[in-house]
């Protein structure tokens, strides 16, 4: 069975309640149930943290075991060289995901530290961005 690890970074625990005009009205847990049902032959594990070091620990822990990582690093996307290095350090390919189209938003969201360490980037398709990332990894 293929294994995909989804990792969500800071503030994404508030999906459904956080800026619903930008990120939608659905919780990630609710979406995850649907996502798993779309890929019954894939083990999809999920981890969320608001702490950079915990995200790095998760990448280290799964990065030699899983077939792919789907990472929405939230605001750490735009700041974290450490997440870039963590992705480079492990074997599993990663796809960077954003719910919103970061390139249509403030300029400080246009630069990503993690894109160069990822196979690809999917942004702007709402929660469906995660499904597209899983498809790409498979």
Catalytic residue positions, numbered: 23, 98
Tell me: does residue 109 bind ligand DQA (CB under 6 A).
yes
Measured from the CB atom, the residue of 2 and 10 that comes closer to ligand DQA is 10
Tell me: does residue 49 bind ligand DQA (CB under 6 A).
no
Among 102, 118, 133, 134, binds ligand DQA (CB under 6 A): 102
Where in 12-31 is the site for ligand DQA (CB under 6 A)?
none
Report residue 9 CA to chain centroid gap.
8
Q: What is the CA radius of gyration of the chain?
A: 14
Residue 134's closest CA among 106, 89, 93, 103? 93
C-alpha count within 13 angstroms, C-beta hemisphere, residue 65: 11
Are residues 74 and 106 in contact, defined by beta-carbon separation less than 8 angstroms?
no
Tokens 């847990």 correspond to what residue?
Answer: 29
Residues 72-101: x where in contact with ligand DQA by CB under 6 A, - otherwise, as a string: x-xx-x--------------------xxx-
Residues forming contacts to ligand DQA in the complex (CB under 6 A) are 11, 72, 74-75, 77, 98-100, 102, 109
């Amino acid at each position: 069975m293929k294994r995909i690890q989804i990792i969500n970074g800071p503030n994404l625990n508030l999906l459904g309640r956080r800026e619903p005009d930008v990120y939608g009205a659905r919780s990630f847990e609710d979406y995850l149930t649907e996502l798993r049902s779309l890929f019954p032959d894939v083990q999809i594990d999920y981890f969320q943290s608001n702490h950079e070091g915990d995200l790095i620990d998760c990448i280290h822990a799964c990065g030699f075991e899983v077939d792919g990582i789907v990472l929405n690093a939230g605001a750490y996307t735009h700041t974290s060289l450490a997440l870039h290095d963590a992705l480079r350090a492990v074997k599993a390919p990663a796809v960077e995901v954003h719910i919103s189209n970061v390139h249509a938003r403030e300029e400080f969201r246009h630069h990503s530290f993690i894109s160069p360490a990822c196979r690809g980037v999917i942004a702007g398709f709402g929660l469906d961005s995660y499904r597209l990332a899983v498809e790409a990894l498979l």
